[in-house]
Chains A and B, each alone.
Chain A
């Protein structure tokens, strides 16, 4: 039959504990990957890349990062924008200081630097919890943005205070700078998304992910059964910040090209990523993708509907967007606190029983 455990026999432990236990899921996963890698790069154009696909992929990485911290480890962070800024500025400094090194290495290193900064700002989480921690992460947000604005070393003393991505090549094709072809932008982001998603999925399935979830569910109880809260919380902050840093580096180097820190990585960005994981689903990798796709698509769709179809002025549509996003957040928290991922899970449950639900 179509979507069933029945008949899908597992004969080894490895097969039994794989990520997608259902055959159709596995096929779906590989088909998605194949389409993303082998079809889209050939049909992509500038509009699709710059308004939908590239921001979607980058936000997906950031959402996975925040989801690890908030969804899996239960530590609410409002500092995502600040950590993305760390990734972006680290990448910029590395790119300009070591122009001969491959940009891919720089992006990974930028993630590593962000991980260290994130772990440092995660230290208070050992003492404070809940809202208090959420507000404490605001300290990171505002302090980091201020730092990158004020200390001119970070933007190489440029007069405008902006950072501009110089042109860098991977295998002879420009991936940053103004002459980047759309498919190259797309592919480099896709590369990092694929790797990050696989890493995140496997981390959360393993020992470390389980210790995060134990901390999330009740930290004192987790401590009593032998989870080290210091290690669990700090690794969650570090891993989460790594992903967020990679997302920030890509956002700056590949997507925007030129960045003014307060504008690109302000508090609004932190909330945007937080909304993505709420709408997508806390504690779900698929949810991170769903939420990112939803919130990237929503403004574009609304703009199309409001401005192009209805002929309304742009600012009116922008206000409507606020109303709709706000209403959706509340709606999801009331009706489906586990987000789009839960809807997807329910649909799959139904499909398993279909057409004989009893």
Chain B
């Protein structure tokens, strides 16, 4: 096999891995959208916020230290202890559940029955709010997230595959972190599917997704389900935040992955969990391949910024509900 062809395969594999990470973010969107009809733009910022919180708790930072110092003229920054990873993750989850409850109680409960686009704009406001709160709580400097995930290229894969091509092929370069992310994503999706199929709360969640009023009339508490769903989205955001944070540091640009998840959703359809996965993979592979084959040689590179959107746009013109979305039926 020629080296060029093998490099192409490597690009595809790396695209698949990147796609898994996009899919992770998209999953959070789908969860909330199915259960409450809210298109949650803040999902990316939730990932950022949870990663910030995790990093902050682990290093024993004092929340709102900056603000407290400014108001009272004190000089506190750290508690002086370090929290072990697992405890920190549990604490972060608690924070995300509290956040979910607050969002439900103070924002979206008042917006029930509003048009979807109003809800969408409210989540944009929520995104700004949460970003500001995250910065106030933990400071806006770039943090590293050392939760013990392996980093760097996998020598094992590289050595095992180096014999495939000729002399100028050194084997596939695959980031260990991406492999871990893939495994985690698979576990997460399996867990979510099992949860929604086999548990009481999961069934209630699906009932709410099907029909709010019917669910209400058989005694399902909408408020509880919505808090549950936002908490689950918080969990997914935490996983996505940890993966992306470990990859490129916890910083503001993390919240921009939400924007990358949007075309994924458009491709896969807003209402389908498998759609989110497949859409993520298509976008991941598509943009890497396009950059490798056309973008870098002919268009000056950096096409990854827009390729996903244009692909989704073209796709939607032919299939407005996405790959797996429910058929849109409109009545006057």
Interface residues of A (CB under 8 A from B): 76, 124, 127-132, 134-136, 138-139, 142-143, 145-146, 149-151, 218, 220-221, 224, 267, 271, 274-275, 278, 310, 312-313, 315-316, 319-330, 333-334, 337
Having A76-B117, A333-B121, A333-B125, one finds 20 other A-B pairs with CB under 8 Å, namely A127-B317, A127-B320, A128-B317, A128-B320, A131-B39, A131-B120, A135-B265, A135-B309, A143-B310, A146-B302, A150-B302, A267-B259, A274-B121, A310-B70, A322-B128, A323-B132, A326-B127, A326-B128, A327-B125, A329-B121
> What class of interface size applies to chain B in its complex with A?
35 or more
Partner of B305, one of A146, A325, A329: A146
Bound CA–CA A320/B132 (angstroms): 6
Question: Which of chain A's residues has its CB closest to B130's CB?
Answer: A326
Q: Are A143 and B131 touching (Cβ within 8 A)?
A: no
Overall SS of chain A's interface = helix
- Bound CA–CA A50/B131 (angstroms): 28
**Which A-B residue pairs are the 10 nearest by beta carbons?**
A329-B125, A326-B129, A322-B132, A326-B128, A323-B132, A139-B309, A142-B306, A319-B135, A143-B306, A330-B125
Q: Which of B110, B132, B263 sits near A135, CB closer than 8 Å?
A: B263
> In this complex, which of A220, A221, A337 has the most chain B Cβ atoms within 10 angstroms of its Cβ?
A337
Q: What B residues does A316 contact at CB under 8 A?
A: 66-67, 70, 136
Q: How far is the CA of A124 from the CA of B316 in the complex (A)?
A: 8
B313-332 interface mask toward A, CB cutoff 8 Å, 1 = contact, 0 = none? Answer: 10011001000000000111
Interfacial chain B residues near A135, Cβ < 8 Å: 262-263, 265-266, 309, 312
Whether A221 and B332, one on each chain, are in contact in the complex, defined by CB atoms closer than 8 angstroms, is: yes
- Is B111's CB under 8 angstroms from A334's CB? yes
A277 to B107: give the CA distance in the assembly, Å. Answer: 20
Chain B 278-320 residues near chain A, CB threshold 8 A: 299-303, 305-306, 309-310, 312-313, 316-317, 320
A227 to chain B, nearest CB (A): 13
A124 touches which of B129, B301, B306, B313 (Cβ 8 Å): B313
Residues A330 and B129 in contact in the complex (CB < 8 Å), given A146-B306, A319-B140, A337-B114: yes
Contact A271 B124 (CB under 8 A): yes
Other-chain residue from B299, B309, B313, B320 in contact with A150 (beta carbon distance below 8 A): B299
Tell me, rounded to whole Å, the shortest Cβ–Cβ distance linking B29 to chain A: 10
CA A313 to CA B124, docked complex, whole Å = 26
A329:B116 contact, CB within 8 angstroms = no
Complex Cα–Cα for A149 and B302 (A)? 10
Interface-centre pick from A124, A131, A321 (highest chain B CB count, 10 A): A131
B contact residues around A136 at 8 Å (CB): 266, 309, 312-313, 316
**Complex formed: what's the CA distance from A124 to B310 in Å?**
11
Measured CA separation A71–B121 after assembly (Å): 13
Bound CA–CA A325/B132 (angstroms): 9
Note all chain A residues with C-beta closer than 8 A to B262: 135, 138
Query: In the complex, what distance in Å separates the CA atom of A124 from the CA atom of B299?
Result: 24
Residues from chain B with a CB closer than 8 A to the CB of A275 are 124-125
Chain A residues near B125 (CB-CB < 8 A): 275, 325-330, 333
The CA of A132 and the CA of B316, in the complex, are separated in Å by: 8
> How distant is the Cα of A325 from the Cα of B263 in the complex, in angstroms?
26
Asked if A278 and B121 make an inter-chain contact with CB atoms under 8 angstroms apart, the answer reads: yes
Given contacts A124-B317, A326-B125, A333-B121, contact A220 B266 (CB under 8 A): no
Given A131-B116, A150-B302, A326 and B131 touching (CB < 8 A)?
yes
A-contact 0/1 string along B253-291, CB 8 Å cutoff: 000000100110110001000000000000000000000
- Residue B194, interface by CB 8 Å: no
A136 to B116, CA, bound (A): 17
When the two chains form the complex, which single residue of B111, B265, B316 contacts A128, counting CB atoms closer than 8 Å? B316
> Could you write out 25 A-B pairs with CB less than 8 Å apart?
A127-B320, A130-B117, A131-B39, A131-B116, A131-B117, A131-B270, A135-B265, A138-B259, A143-B309, A143-B310, A150-B301, A218-B332, A221-B332, A310-B70, A316-B136, A321-B132, A322-B131, A323-B128, A324-B132, A326-B128, A329-B124, A329-B129, A333-B111, A333-B114, A337-B118
Whether B117 and A139, one on each chain, are in contact in the complex, defined by CB atoms closer than 8 angstroms, is: no
Contact A326 B111 (CB under 8 A): no
Judged by a CB distance under 8 angstroms, whether B126 is at the interface is yes
CB neighbours (8 Å) of B127 from chain A are 326
Give B101 Cβ to nearest chain A Cβ, in Å: 16
